């Protein structure tokens, strides 16, 4: 365990009850040891990228305060994905839930199986829109620009629609 740090986790689902998968993933994150939820973005409906022949996603970003190490947090997220039926069969394909560590404080980590900040977060509107909602002034540790600055400069035309406030926000913070 490390000193508590603010971490942002991106969630997405495009199979089954997408909203329920996101809600359950957030509930499970709230049960991680030495972790508390600070804030959860609204839910966003987003067009698929890379593989466009699949259903739209529901995405959100959760801000947590945790003492878990990056590796412990990754393992916990992967356990949630597995518990919620994630099957890694097709790269960028449909999934019940996808959980990505976007930022772990201002740390830069590159090791086998773990890259933080997320290597494509700055290119993805479905990450930047919800992240800008809850943490607009958070600075990307590599590019040294705020989330809002990166979002304004983004050339990605992906369609992202704010759907609704996260249903548990009154309970999660």
Active site residues: 86, 95, 98, 100
Angstrom distance (rounded) from CA 105 to CA 77 = 17
- Strand pairing report for 114-116 and 109-111: antiparallel
DSSP 34-54: TEEEEEEPPEEEE---SS-SS
Gap between the Cα atoms of 28 and 80, Å rounded: 7
Cα 134 from Cα 124, distance rounded (Å)? 16
The residue length of the chain stands at 173
Nearest to 41 by CA among 86, 8, 78: 8
For tokens 């030495």, name the residue: 34
Q: How many H-runs (helices) and E-runs (strands) does the chain carry? A: 5, 8
- How many CB atoms sit inside 10 A of residue 92's CB? 12
């Amino acid at each position: 365990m490390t000193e508590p740090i603010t971490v942002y986790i991106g969630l997405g689902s495009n199979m089954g009850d997408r909203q329920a998968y996101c809600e359950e993933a957030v509930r499970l994150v709230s049960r991680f040891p030495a972790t508390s939820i600070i804030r959860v973005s609204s839910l966003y409906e987003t067009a698929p990228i890379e593989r466009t022949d699949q259903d739209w996603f529901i995405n959100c970003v959760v801000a947590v305060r945790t003492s878990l190490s990056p590796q412990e947090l990754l393992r916990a997220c992967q356990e949630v994905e597995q518990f919620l039926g994630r099957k890694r069969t097709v790269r960028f394909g449909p999934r019940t839930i996808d959980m990505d560590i976007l930022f772990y404080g201002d740390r830069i980590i590159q090791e086998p199986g773990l890259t933080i900040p997320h290597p494509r977060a700055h290119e993805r509107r479905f990450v930047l829109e919800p992240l800008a909602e809850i943490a607009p002034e958070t600075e990307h540790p590599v590019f040294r620009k705020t989330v809002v600055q990166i979002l304004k400069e983004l050339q990605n035309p992906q369609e992202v629609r704010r759907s609704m406030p996260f249903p548990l926000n009154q309970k999660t913070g």
